[in-house]
Each structure stands twice: as C-alpha cells, then as structure tokens.
Structure 1
C-alpha cells in the first residue's frame, strides 16, 4: 500500500503557501496612514515630500542637458533594436499565435510606449494605461476580429498611489476628486506599471534620480558662479576721468559718453584718484568653475552609463572606449530584459488571454554591431585555404540582396565545329583561316614541334594566366614580333597564328 506523502513522517511539513510573514503591513517601524504606502527614498523623506512633489523633484532633473542626453542613450539603445515574439511552448499553433501577436504590436506604436515606460529609470516607476479596441487581424490569411490595444498612454505619477490592506500585496489605486487619499481601485488588465529597484517596503521603486540630484544641484551652482565670474572679468569696464574743477554739466557729458560705450557698468572718478581692483590669480585658459562643471558632468554620465566618459590617451583611451562599449551593451541588455519582464507579465499576457492565443513572450537582443570589414577579410582568408561559402551562407551573413555573379563567357571556339574564331576586327573567318587552323593543329601534334612552341609561347601563357585580355594580347604579339609588321598581310597572319596557338593550347589544357 502506497504511503500518503502528506502523512509521511520522513518528509517535513509543507511550508506556508502563498503567504508573507514579514510583510510591510506588520512592520513596526513603518508609518502607514489609511494603508497608503510612502516611498522610502531617503532624499524624499529628508525633504518631507509626498505625492506629486516627490516625483516632480526628479522629473525636474531632465532639464539638465547631460541628464537628458544620458537617459536618451539608455532609452534609444533599447528601442532602436528590433523585438522578437516567441511562444512559451514550441508548437505549430504557438508559432502562428506568436506571429499574430507580433503583427498586433506593430499597430499601436510599441517602440514608443517602450520608450515611455523606460522613464522609470529616472523616477523609479512609470504607469501607463492601455486603451483597448476591436480590430480585424489577419490570422492564416483571413481577417479575425480581436481585442487589441488602440494605444497605450503614459500617465503622470501624481495620479496613483499604492495601498496595502492586511497581508495582501500592495495594490495600485487611482486618485480621484472624490478620494484624494486612498483613491479608487483600477480595472483589471488596464494599467501597466514598469518599476526599477522596487522593494518590499517601497513599491514605487528607486530610480537614478536619487544619485543624480546632487551632481545636478552642484553643477547648477557652479554654472551660476561661472557666469558671474565671466560677467565680472570677461569684459573691460570703461573708466572716465574728469578734472576736479569740472562742472556738473561736464560730468554729465562724460557719463553719457561712458554709457554709450557700455551699458553693463561704468566708472567715473576725478583726476588723481587711485582705484585698485583685486584681480584673479588664475593662470591658463581653464578656470576652477569649468573644472567643477566638467567634474559634475562626468559624475552624471557615470551614474547613467555606468562609467565615466573620460579616459587617457593612446592605448589607455582605446582600452577605455572598449570597456565603455561593453558596459553600455550590458546596461542596454539589462534595461531590455527588465522591460520585457514587465510587458510579458502585463500587456503580452493580456493580449493572449483576451484572444485565446497561446502564451507568448517578447524580448529584444542587444548585440554589438558586426564589423563587416573584419568579417569579409576573415572569409577571404578562409577561402584561400580551399573552402567556399554557400550562397545561403552569404545571404544569411550579408543580406538577401546578394547573388552569385554570372559565369564568364567561354572563349571563342577555334578550328572545326561552330563559327571559326576571328580576331580581325569582327570580320568573318575566311577559308584560308580555317586551313591555317588545321595546319596549326597538325603542327602541334608533333612532339618536337610542340616542345619548341612551348618554349616560344611560355611568356604568352604567363601573360594570359595573369589575366591578359585577348584584344590587348594581339597588340602585344605584334610588338613582340616587329619584323612581321612591315607588311599588313604578314602582321595579320602572325596575329592569327600565335593567338590561335595560345588559345588553342589553353583550351586543350582546360
């Protein structure tokens, strides 16, 4: 009799299923009012911010050019890559359903919403609302009405809060005019929330804004001080001197003249007055303000891209560039994977459930751009070892727009069979030419004659095997035998004889 695994004393008891013991609701150090969870971001807590004020604190950082440029690099590095939809279970039906989901994603700006959801990199989380509609989608060549997204709209953070009641998981709720504290429950399969570094006691996540706030703050102060410095020392101040006995009218005339020179500031003193200015002792073109701003820019880009954009020179610069490229690809792949997890658990799953499709997954593969020049050189080296790439391999590697070249035309036939070859400017071969061809064949059949001809025609063979053109070869043969050029008949005969011997010899060796 088989033992019941539940009552088997050799096995431990089952653990608590689908439950949390140390949840946020039972945390004695957490202050929760009416179940509404607050962010545990230290900067937000330090400033006593809540709700929309906390989110706007980080959104304001995008006004900085370096922050905006760095975030754009992170976002576009993912969005610029193509997406792939695959079924969870490999089957013929799953492959067809994955193709249908792929077609649906191309109808409502999938890349655009991916870029919008990646704003969570800065703030920590980003909600978006799916607007569903009915549309005809081609399935196996026939239209079929399906529930598809008409658009996905990015929503402001201030409209939402997370509420936790009891041991239940935190729930996203929508703030309305009727309930500004806890909000109302959102409909199922309606809102996508992409989160970064979300924790148990902080479902809102932690974005890069926490690390970017202070370098941006100090950079703005440095730029302000730099601007004041340039305003004070960048332009000369006009200085007018008037006699001590000058009248008020004369002083006014001098003042008007100084104001005409500069509106930023002027100086008027009686003659003999001593004025000294405390000048800056800075040497060189750079200033401490510039160094300060550049240091903050490096700090900002290191937070966003994972490494400072500055490096040494020479080999150190090349090594740093290679390392930055590797870090950038890793960050882009990580951003893509996290975004795909969010989409696969929400939008992609909902599309499949609403339309009875096999479960599918979407993902992007981030790879380094291939060096076509290096690859072509490698292929050339391999071909020199005696290997040949198939036409399918060439198309798979370099694109479908490549095809094999047409075979070069065969050399003209000589002697009997077919049209006789003619090298005389397109003229038809005369009967004498045919007789000459036959005589040449008979001469070459003689072993002694053949050895003599091989010695004579050795340079001719070398020139042809090196890629010589037949028309150019005729001129070369005429120059090779100058004593045959006095008479046109002898020149034509010499050209036909030697050209026929060479091409006939090569044709016989093929």
Structure 2
C-alpha cells in the first residue's frame, strides 16, 4: 500500500500537499544552447530589434524583454539610480503587522505570531526581490516552509521571472519546453508580486518596457558623442613633405603622424614638418549632452514621477513640491506590496498554523507625510492651554519619539529660580492683565509678598466677616447631633438656612475696588 503524503489546509480550506510548500516548485533547468543568463540583448540593439522584442512579449514570449530589463539596470547608471531609489523608498520603511479583525483573540494571536516572520532577517531580502517587479512587471519569490513549533518560512528563493509565463487569463504558469501553455504553479507555493503601474496585461506593466525606447536612444546618443569626441576632441595632425620626397620618406612621415596619436612622440627627416590644426565645431558637445540630459529626465519622470530631486538646477521649494509627487508613488507601491504579502504569505501562514477560518493579519508599510515639527509643536502649545486634550502617545508618534519605559532616565526642563512675572520685573517689564490688558499692581510684584498692605487689611477681622455664615451651620449640626439625627436632617436644615453674607460681601467689594484703583495708578 502506497504511503499517503501528509497535507495541510490552505487558506481556501482545501488540503495542500506538504511537498509543494517545502521544496522548490521549479524543475531543474534543461541545458541547452540558449541559456537565459548568457543571452545578451542590449548589445547592438536597433529600433527594429526592440520592436520585435516588444511584439514577442505581447504574444507571451517575454524572455528577451526581461533580459533587456536586466541589462538596462546594469548599463544605464541613471536608470539604475532612480529605479533603486524607488525600491528603497519602500524597502527602507519598517513594516507594521495589524490583526485581520478587531476583538478577535485568534486574529490577534495570528498577528503576534506573524511578526516573527516579518521581522526575520531573510524577510528583508524577500521584499527587495519582490520590488524587482517594478522594473520587470512581476517578481516571483518562493518561501520554503519549515515546521518547528509553527509553520514558517525558513528561506526565500528568488526565481528568475524568465522561468515563468502567463496564460490567456493572465495567470502565472511555469515555462516548460514540453508544454506550450506552461505547467501549473502549485497553490499557495509562491509569492507573486504584480505592481499595477498601468491597467492591462502583466507583461506590459513593467517600467523597463516604458524606458526601453529611451534606453536605446541614449545608447545611440552616447555612441555618436564618443565618435564626435574622437574626431573633434583632438587636433588634426597634418604632415607636410617636399615634392622631391621619395615614397619611403612619405611612409616615414605618415608613421610619425600616426605615432603622435598614441605615443605623443615621433621623429621625421629634416625638411619635413607636422602641423597641428585645431578642430572647429566643438558645439556638438552641447547637442549630444542636451540629448542625454533630456532622455535622463524622461526616465526620472517615468520611474519616480519627477526630476527636481535627481537633476541639477532645482530650488529647495521646487524639490519639496516634487517630493509630494514621489510620495504618492511611494504610498501606492507600499500599499500594493502589503496586499501581495497579505495574500501570498500572511494568508498561508495563518491557515497552516491557526486554521483557514481565522482572518489573516495585514502587513502595512506606513508612508507618512513629511511633518513640520515646528508648526505641530506650536499648534499643540496653543491648544493645550485652551483646554484641548492631547494624548501624549499621539504627540510622540507625530514627532518620531517613543514613550519611555518605566525607570528610564528622562530629559526634563531645567528648574527656574524665579517665576515668570519676577523675571519680567528684573528686565524692567510688567506683565499685562490677560483679561483687560491693563498693567495692575499685582503685575509689579507687590501682590506676591506678605507685606502688601492691601492683603494685610483684607485679612484683618476675617473671622467677624465669616461668622454670620458659619455660626448658624455649626449650631444646626450640634442640635441635630444632640437630637440623634443624621446627615439627612442636617442636609434639610441647610436647605432652610439663609446665611447672612452682607458683611463678607461688603468687605470683598471694598477690597476689590481698592486693588483695582491701586493697580491703575501704579501705587
């Protein structure tokens, strides 16, 4: 009886053979006369050849286009720079794992467990390989699952995109010489990243296809520029010989002229001369240079959506404006990468370890808008005194700070030796009243000392002013306590009282009037 292979449940709830997720899904490549890694397309590229490559890709054979895309990154420094800039704009962000459902304990446990996958060192390499799809239109990375305490990827295999093809419904297939339509890719075995840079077929969506014509034109431009410099960059050497010179003497002179181009040294018979004529028409440098700069700017627009931060001649204000365009592209790339990881990695991880009915976690690469810290702190400083509640965690997050752990040493404001009003007085200034704008006597410092005569007068005989109010309350409390009553009776007695506040009100009114008068006249 044949041994039955073990299975696990995939995200769709169907059994999945373990061998399809623990071993390379690609068959060993056949050795032939035409190897993908040895083929070259960029050398001698012509408009006719490029058009043929693009037509073949439209019909499903995109191997030459992918080879050209690889060579473009190796040969064009500007394209490699801006494409790398776009990749690193996303890969340089630390991802965040969030549960797939709120108030779901299992979803929370799955998200916590998946963090060990996201923050593993090999995951960063997988992200870099997946972002290769920006140039080529798609990228395939296979996680090799291993089982220990849980199912998790032990490594990630980057597969050459030329080993795959797409069928009429734009589904990924394994390219095979035995099957024209390719072989089926086992379910949930690979991570396929297809950034939707434009609508349409996957093979027509990579940046390399868009930049290929520019790359070819720039190659012609640089070749013509090099030929121009070879002709006009060095002076023309003319050898002059006498009419009676023999054929041998002419050969000697010609050899001497040629030696000057390589050795910068030559000897000639007496009576002969060599003249150096400066070449005219050096303005061709500007023509070829302007063409190369123009093509580079078109590449910048195609890849990162702007030119100000990659080419010279931009101001700081212009660069900030164009940075916003690149920010939109970065946010779209990050969102699409998060969708890919969620579908092809987080979903199988959750199904393998927690079951297909548990919502898989989401992976987010947060792209924040550039924060004006000065404007933010000024706004908070104005809002808090007005009563607007502001969470400390929100402020720390916006400023890129974390909340300190318990027991950590903290930075604190230095202790002030004098109140703000006293500091103002030392500088010869008095603080104005925030209510009416007038500088009162209290602002000059007299009111914050015990020797102030007005305060001393206000505190005289305060017991006589407060007695008409407190004596009836104390008498009622004693009477109710003697009669055995409680708080309810005391509360009812308070409701019936009409305390005599005339003396206290009179003193407060007189003191307030005197304080206002002293402050207004500055005495």
Same fold, judged at TM 0.5 (above): yes
Question: Does 2:143 match 1:130?
Answer: yes
In the TM superposition, what is the alpha-carbon distance from 1:288 to its structure 2 partner?
Answer: 0.4
Contact 2:236–2:278 (8 Å) recurs in 1? no
Contact 1:194–1:339 (8 Å) recurs in 2? yes
Q: Which runs of 5+ in 2 are unaligned?
A: 1-50, 430-444, 453-523
Per the alignment, residue 489 of structure 1 pairs with none
Per the alignment, residue 435 of structure 2 pairs with none
TM, length-normalised to structure 2: 0.59
Per the alignment, residue 325 of structure 2 pairs with 327
Tell me how far apart the structure 2 counterparts of residues 97 and 320 of structure 1 sit (CA, whole Å).
45
- Correspondence list, 1:107-126, <5 A: 107-126=120-139
Per the alignment, residue 494 of structure 1 pairs with none
Closer, same or farther: CA 241–185 of 1 in aligned 2, 3 Å: same
Per the alignment, residue 63 of structure 2 pairs with 52
In the TM superposition, what is the alpha-carbon distance from 1:242 to its structure 2 partner?
Answer: 4.0
1:313-337 alpha-carbon deviations (Å, 9 max, x no partner): 99x9455323311110110111111
Q: Which runs of 5+ in 1 are unaligned?
A: 1-40, 136-144, 412-458, 467-502
Tell me how far apart the structure 2 counterparts of residues 189 and 246 of structure 1 sit (CA, whole Å).
85
Contact 2:133–2:139 (8 Å) recurs in 1? yes
Per the alignment, residue 485 of structure 1 pairs with none
Tell me how far apart the structure 1 counterparts of residues 192 and 364 of structure 2 sit (CA, whole Å).
17
Per the alignment, residue 306 of structure 1 pairs with 305
TM, length-normalised to structure 1: 0.60
1:241-296 alpha-carbon deviations (Å, 9 max, x no partner): 3444456776676566655643189999998999998954455x951000111111
Partner-residue secondary structure (3-state), 1:262: helix
Deviates more, 1:48-57 or 1:349-358: 48-57
Partner-residue secondary structure (3-state), 2:175: strand
Per the alignment, residue 173 of structure 1 pairs with 173
In the TM superposition, what is the alpha-carbon distance from 1:340 to its structure 2 partner?
Answer: 1.6
Contact 1:125–1:207 (8 Å) recurs in 2? yes
Tell me how far apart the structure 1 counterparts of residues 243 and 60 of structure 2 sit (CA, whole Å).
62
Per the alignment, residue 342 of structure 1 pairs with 340
Tell me how far apart the structure 1 counterparts of residues 446 and 135 of structure 2 sit (CA, whole Å).
78
In the TM superposition, what is the alpha-carbon distance from 1:44 to its structure 2 partner?
Answer: 1.9
> How much is the aligned-residue C-alpha RMSD, in angstroms?
4.6
Tell me how far apart the structure 1 counterparts of residues 195 and 306 of structure 2 sit (CA, whole Å).
20
Contact 2:165–2:175 (8 Å) recurs in 1? yes
Tell me how far apart the structure 2 counterparts of residues 394 and 238 of structure 1 sit (CA, whole Å).
73
Partner-residue secondary structure (3-state), 2:369: coil
Contact 1:132–1:149 (8 Å) recurs in 2? yes
- Correspondence list, 1:432-471, <5 A: 462-463=425-426
Per the alignment, residue 190 of structure 2 pairs with 191
Per the alignment, residue 73 of structure 1 pairs with 85
1:194-244 alpha-carbon deviations (Å, 9 max, x no partner): 123499983545212222011111111101111111111112244443444
Per the alignment, residue 82 of structure 1 pairs with 94
Contact 1:237–1:265 (8 Å) recurs in 2? no
Equivalent residue in structure 1 for 2:165, among 148, 158, 161: 161
Partner-residue secondary structure (3-state), 2:186: coil
Tell me how far apart the structure 2 counterparts of residues 170 and 386 of structure 1 sit (CA, whole Å).
58
Per the alignment, residue 103 of structure 1 pairs with 116
Contact 1:242–1:269 (8 Å) recurs in 2? no
1:72-111 alpha-carbon deviations (Å, 9 max, x no partner): 1111111111211112210251223212112222125323
Closer, same or farther: CA 269–335 of 1 in aligned 2, 3 Å: farther
- Correspondence list, 1:238-387, <5 A: 238-246=237-245, 258=257, 261-263=260-262, 279-281=279-281, 283=283, 287-309=286-308, 317=315, 320-356=318-354, 358=358, 359-379=360-380
Tell me how far apart the structure 2 counterparts of residues 509 and 84 of structure 1 sit (CA, whole Å).
62
Contact 1:298–1:309 (8 Å) recurs in 2? no
Partner-residue secondary structure (3-state), 1:181: coil
